[in-house]
Structure 1
């Protein structure tokens, strides 16, 4: 994930969040035995943008016109510190025009650019290769998430016809968001009324987890991915409109995240690097990572 204004960075929070470009990062996570996590909070000198490129420090995203190439060159955070280097390529089946305001005033917007895609992962470590079904989206916001939300869950489930995305959230004012979309392989998106909200097993940090499921069925975690005190990501199996589907599910507890005692813990996993070498006229700069 590429961030300009690193939403979950304690350094961005402590700065007052007045300068998003001064808190950017490329977040990379691998899972399973030997999994790594990189999320270095970088200063504005590390940020370079064009219409088709986003460069953050030594890593870069490049849209070629038909695929997104993500060149990764990061160092993972404790406890397993090592270089994470390689390329991830996302090839959309189609690019959608769907946008979903998450608050009535549009302060937060979800944009599923490619709900159906192919992904190829080729990172420089044993077992860090993959080719299969992928996805690409973005979120935009003008206020801190914890100012507007207390809790949300999100899920994207590949289906026989394309993909279904579910967004449920509870806002601070007590109102709720309950959104469902199905996407065909050509990128056509349609609003759908998803089946009921159904709880399943809490995370290891006892986060309440729920997603949509047909009556009489119960979702289940198939594979753990990322588990934190305020956030959980997992591969989840559920049943939607008679079809058993397996996809990525996320739970986010913004009340927990707002707790100031959590920020020093996050700082261990999200190191700050404010400086970055810049090229000089007639010369070049090295980029050590």
Structure 2
């Protein structure tokens, strides 16, 4: 289970578990000592992880109350071998951690990706962003670069009071590269100049960024991700991954990229 905390109490965990440490049912997924399950109207996440290197503990709970539920995944690319499922694109969350001692509440987002093959086999890279508009709508933008075809893009709007709808694509806009020289691109209103307010994750193959941008006539803050699957495939990155993502010593019986559980949305 990947946990990323930013700010003065920054911590990052992602321990890779073997088959013996993973269990799932229709409404629960356990990953080592951590897990998540649907409890009535919300998703309850128990976190019991340890950071690599300094071995600092991360303990606590996250509760996610969906305000909008999507009952089906959306295909990424034309081959329909990879899917994205924005389960709860609009949600209310409560976070209560004991280690470090932190608590807050606010808005959240829950999604998952599903594939018939490792993601790096289907794509060379992609850019993704999510922003919430003033009226509560959530806008998600995808720019995908499949290995077996031309680039494709997706712009989707989620309204808690309406259906999921595809919307017109905003204009492409470049962002400055990261310290690892990762290219970053996004989309914004024509003529707008999105600004990077903070780079939260800066790795050789992945960047997570907070943006100040303009969408559909509104000044908004957006969360943005860039992923280079070509870099992920490289020998250098594969050599470094175990230091960032420690692997337990048991015999590996699952693929390097584990398939996520298909959650059953809560009734109602």
Q: Normalized against structure 1, the TM-score is what?
A: 0.82
Residue 261 of structure 1 corresponds to: 236
Residue 195 of structure 2 corresponds to: 220
User: Which of 42, 46, 53 is 2:28 aligned to?
Assistant: 53
**Residue correspondence of structure 1 range 23-42 to structure 2 within 5 A:** 26-42=1-17
User: Which of 111, 119, 134 is 2:85 aligned to?
Assistant: 111
Distance across 1 between alignment mates of 2:147 and 2:30: 35
Distance across 1 between alignment mates of 2:5 and 2:32: 20
Residue 125 of structure 1 corresponds to: 99
> Cα gap change, 1:98/1:166 in structure 2, threshold over 3 Å: closer, same or farther?
farther
**1:193, distance to aligned residue in structure 2 (A):** 1.2
**1:152, distance to aligned residue in structure 2 (A):** 0.2
Distance across 2 between alignment mates of 1:83 and 1:99: 34
**1:28, distance to aligned residue in structure 2 (A):** 0.9
What's the Cα RMSD here?
A: 1.6
User: Which of 44, 49, 52 is 1:74 aligned to?
Assistant: 49
- 2:161 is aligned with 1:186: yes
**Residue correspondence of structure 1 range 211-250 to structure 2 within 5 A:** 211-250=186-225
Q: Is the 8 A contact 1:46 1:275 kept in 2?
A: no
**Which contiguous aligned blocks of 4+ residues in structure 1 show a shift greater than 6 angstroms?**
none
- 2:135 is aligned with 1:169: no
Paired residue total: 250
User: Which of 145, 149, 160 is 2:123 aligned to?
Assistant: 149
- 2:142 is aligned with 1:136: no
Q: Is the 8 A contact 1:213 1:238 kept in 2?
A: yes
Deviations 1:102-157 (Å, cap 9, x if unpaired)?
13221110000111111111112356322111000010011122212111011110
Distance across 2 between alignment mates of 1:87 and 1:195: 37
Distance across 2 between alignment mates of 1:259 and 1:187: 43
Distance across 2 between alignment mates of 1:160 and 1:87: 29
Runs of 5+ consecutive residues of structure 2 not aligned to the other structure: 252-268
Q: Normalized against structure 2, the TM-score is what?
A: 0.88
User: Which of 139, 160, 183 is 2:134 aligned to?
Assistant: 160
